[in-house]
Structure 1
Amino acid sequence: KDDALGGATGAGVRVGIIDSGIDNEHPAVAGAVRGWAEPTLGEDGSVTYNLQPHDDLYGHGTACAGIIHRIAPEAELYSVRVLGQGLSGKGTVFAAGLRWAIENGMRVVNLSLGTTSPKYFAEFHHLVQDAYYHGTVLVTAANNMPIMSYPSLYAAAVSVACHDRAAGDDPLEFYCNPDPPVEFGAPGVDVRVAWLDKGYATVTGNSFAAPHMTGIVARLLSSHPGLTPYQVKTVLSVIADNVRPRR
């Protein structure tokens, strides 16, 4: 793991966070957000993007951003707001946000959300493949319930759930799952995270495991910028804490 990550800080890596927005002034984020996008649908189905700074409507996005910033403090964060105050949104808006992240040079995108609607299967499959060929690593949280959820089930994405250990003091502790579709386990139990109103909360869920992996991927790409998404996943599977070194 030291060879893969070294002293990398995430410098030079653009990280998209598709969520409920980010409080860029929260101490845990510390002004790391470099850009914003908020897709909206017109009556005719067309998509427009508001690129003005926005805040967090729920706290979820700020929580993810704080985790990523802790692990990769020099990564450039981009907030793509697709979720509202009830932490819900439209699948078409979610897809538009992911499309924006892919087309605007994100090297890694954190997706602590998903859709269970079969009607979006083909669209998200196409977007995940598009991300792969653009060199964008998609880190996706598995659904907290044992149900089909996208895009975490696509092979080209990095799927993450929380492992059964408390977060503790090592945010870099993660495991490789030999029995996919969920491929990796990262801290997601009783994690202290940034929240609304400059506050903090203790939370549990796959949503908070994914940004741990996103931060690790940002550091990996900072240290080895030429890696493809496939190579990133391969390296992660080799440096996981439950993989014994070959003698």
Structure 2
Amino acid sequence: MATATTPPAAGLTWSLRGRRPADIPVVADGAPAPPHLAGSGAGVRVCVVDSGVERDHPLVGPLAASWVVAKDEQGVRVERTTTGDTCGHGTACAGIIRRTAPDCELTSVRVLGERFSGSGDVLLAGLRWAVGQGFDVINLSLSTTRTRFAEELHALADEAFFNRTVIVASAHNTPVESFPWRFASVISVGSHQEDDPDLHLYNPAPPVEFFAPGQNVEVPWLGGASIRTTGNSFATPYIAGLCARILSGHPRMTSFQLKNALYLSAANVSVVNTDSRGAS
């Protein structure tokens, strides 16, 4: 199988380490005030495509439904499941979303097995199913380096974008090319090192567009427990939760409007209002 081995271009930023918000100031043209971020996520359907979610974890709460992508000699299919989380990763992501948007509706689709194992075709099948179900927000703290899946993932990301399903996708933890976070039709996320659990930043040097808390964060884990861990995976559900909060107050917002709302509300973006456009 082909893998992406070409090193990324210099200057691209996958996570924010060794720098602070003041090091990446962004000046934006005047625009209407960004939507209020104080919504609870009520009425918003969020799908966590991951390793499953532990049911009734005290830091996650109820799930609307749990599904699994099954793969055998008969092919790949999505079916209901009563199993929980195979490794803890999905539970952690679901807990961060619940903490950020407590009243959203959460659904789980398991595409990872034990020891974080998975395959590109299973990931693609789970994501395709979630897009087809018309979820408002899909949290994807996963990616694949297999370039043979890139074209189909790209088409699927565009389909989601135009149908108002927002895919919030984690950047790889190391500076390698992987998908689908590299596509402009998703909201891509890396982690920052700040202590503020409610701080998100815009990245002026994409392809990663936003940074969120993801370093030494407390997350729910298997057995009703919690742990501290680090990774872009755990910054991503924070942004997914913010998307749910915004959409709960602005349900007709399009995908590009939502991305702009995140941009305008980022802590390092200063909006400069201009009354003229260079009159002579």
TM, length-normalised to structure 1: 0.94
* Residues 176-232 of structure 1 deviation map (CA, whole Å, 9 limit, x = unaligned): 001100000000011000001111110011000000000000001111011111111
8 Å Cα contact 1:16/1:109 also seen in 2:
yes
**Aligned counterparts of 1:147 and 1:119: Cα–Cα separation in 2:** 16
8 Å Cα contact 1:172/1:216 also seen in 2:
no
8 Å Cα contact 2:77/2:125 also seen in 1:
no
* Pairing 1:29–2:60 present: yes
Residues 58, 7 of structure 1: alpha-carbon distance in 2 compared, 3 angstrom cutoff: same
**Aligned counterparts of 1:40 and 1:123: Cα–Cα separation in 2:** 20
Residue aligning to 1:194: 220
8 Å Cα contact 2:41/2:102 also seen in 1:
yes
What is the identity, as a one-letter code, of the residue corresponding to 1:219? R
How many positions carry a matched residue from both structures?
Answer: 242
SS class of match (1:86) = helix
Residue aligning to 1:61: 90
8 Å Cα contact 1:142/1:182 also seen in 2:
yes
Q: CA RMSD in A?
A: 1.5
* Unmatched 5+ stretches in structure 1: none
Question: 1:85-100 to 2 correspondence within 5 Å?
Answer: 85-100=114-129
* Unmatched 5+ stretches in structure 2: 1-32, 274-280
Question: 1:94-109 to 2 correspondence within 5 Å?
Answer: 94-109=123-138
**Cα offset, 1:6, TM superposition:** 4.6
**Aligned counterparts of 2:37 and 2:148: Cα–Cα separation in 1:** 42
SS class of match (1:217) = helix
**Aligned counterparts of 1:129 and 1:96: Cα–Cα separation in 2:** 16
What is the identity, as a one-letter code, of the residue corresponding to 1:88? S
**Cα offset, 1:44, TM superposition:** 4.5
SS class of match (2:177) = coil
* Pairing 1:12–2:38 present: no
* Greater Rg by CA: 2
8 Å Cα contact 1:19/1:82 also seen in 2:
yes
**Aligned counterparts of 1:14 and 1:54: Cα–Cα separation in 2:** 21
